[in-house]
Amino acid sequence: MPHVPTPAPADAASTASAPHPALDGSTPPVNPATPDDWEHFRVLREQWTHEDNLVNHRLMWLILSEGLLFTAYGTLSTAKLHWLVFGFPFFGMAVAGVIGVSIFAAIAATDDIQARYEEAGLQRLCALTPSRRIGHRGRWAAQALPFVFGGLWALAMAGAFNGPQS
């Protein structure tokens, strides 16, 4: 929602004596908020918070599962179980892909909730989320980490196929 600057008053004395138009009842506010509007806002905000928490939980699942897989892979790569050394990168990429898809689905759901909020005209009440610029920067880690882990597993796979270096 763009910021519309308000003109500065001519002097403090003239504004102190005149009542505010919205407070004296002479000028009703444009599209006053109703209790239904606030209830709709609360419902959408709760849905948005739920989806945002899903992104958080799925990101934690990704980080924890990939950390455990890399630890196990590192342990196995020094052992003589080479068939597992080939299998772990495939499994690690699959885990990153599945969790990545679920993260992107939750982010798409927050975008859908934001669109429904704007269609209902509720932005006149208050903002549902941080500004788009800030919100999109906050998503970078959640959107990038599945690809980072997938790339690391691709490097591990390339190393497994090259065999042990002497």
The answer as to whether 20 is a domain residue is no
* Tokens 């490097």 found at: 155
User: From the centroid of its chain, how far is CA 50?
Assistant: 11
**Mean pLDDT to the nearest integer, 99-115:** 95
The answer as to whether 46 is a domain residue is yes
The answer as to whether 85 is a domain residue is yes
The answer as to whether 29 is a domain residue is no
Query: Residue 151 belongs to what domain range?
Result: 34-161
Return the number of other C-beta atoms located less than 10 Å from residue 60's C-beta: 11
The answer as to whether 47 is a domain residue is yes
Q: How many domains does the chain have?
A: 1
The answer as to whether 19 is a domain residue is no
Task: Give the pLDDT confidence of 5-40 residue by residue, as tens digits.
Answer: 444 444 444 444 444 444 455 555 567 778 898 999
Query: Is the full-model pTM beyond 0.75?
Result: no
Task: Give the pLDDT confidence of 118-133 residue by residue, as tens digits.
Answer: 998 888 888 888 777 7
The answer as to whether 27 is a domain residue is no
User: If you ran DSSP here, which 8-state letter would residue 123 be given?
Assistant: G
The answer as to whether 116 is a domain residue is yes
